[in-house]
Amino acid sequence: MASVVAAVLLLAGCDGGGEEPPDGGGAEPTTAGPDAADLPQRRLLTVATFNVLGASHTSPGGGAAEYYPPAAERIGGMLERIRTFRPDVLGLQELQARQSAVLQRRLGDRFGYFGDLDNAVVWRRSRLAVLERTTLTIPYFYDNLREMPVVVLRVRSTGDVVTVVNVHNPADVRGEAGDNRAEAMARERAFVEAERAKGRAVLLVGDLNAEEEAFCALAEGGLLVAANGGSHRRGTCRPPGDAAIDWVLGAGVEFNGYHSDASAREEKVSDHPFVVATVARLRP
């Protein structure tokens, strides 16, 4: 868990919450770290995204059953990371029915939850109030349409409003899906533009199943920025150096912290990292 502790040092300096962690409470880790001047000094929100590796993939006969434990053994690792990183907003992908039921029970009423099929948005009720719940339709495998969860939230301490959309774009595991991914990103971009026209900041999180391609499509014209950097100015796209398929992106959002927790893979909690970022400011 060394990488988890290191990331906590990055994020802890801007954590303003004192709420009990999910699943039974207990003290948060306390570790001596760098001088406070080296840490982000402003935190409005902590946001995360995690593809949990669906239960069907690690059940008997599943494609990942040889490499990863069953979902019942892995969900503790997800809860541990929620306790450690304390996200205010969390996008989850591949959260299948059995995993969703356990997660909602363990989180209890301290967290709001909205999901459709395998994707969900979770938010900390003490810090955020829900204003709207809806979905965004994107093409998935074989041109089938899937609904991705969208939640409009108000920050209780400031009154800022942010729209959170959590997406899982199609991969090539069932055949080439590039056209559907491109259409999904075009719809996601149009959705962000519409929300910005309403005067709302937007957080777009999830497994986009694309690296540089996703950044260049969504950041074009400066519409969205990535928590891990990069730029798209004057027709030139410069993706972050550590671009991967799991993204935390924002429009009208100022980020000031980012960490991709590789230990989630190393400890076989999932085949994806737990990605977490801090938001310093929202701009309508």
Name the residue ranges covered by the structural domains of the chain.
2-282
Domain 2-282 annotated CATH 3.40.50.300: no
Question: Would you give per-residue pLDDT tens digits along the chain (284 residues)?
Answer: 545 544 544 454 444 344 444 544 333 332 223 333 333 457 899 999 999 986 566 666 666 666 776 767 888 999 999 999 999 999 999 988 888 899 999 999 999 999 977 999 999 999 999 999 999 999 987 778 999 999 999 999 999 999 999 999 998 766 576 789 999 999 999 999 999 999 999 999 999 999 999 999 999 999 999 999 999 988 899 999 999 999 999 999 999 999 999 999 999 988 899 999 999 999 98
**The pTM is what?**
0.85
Neighbours of 147 (CB within 10 A): 15
Cα gap 130→152, rounded to integer Å: 6
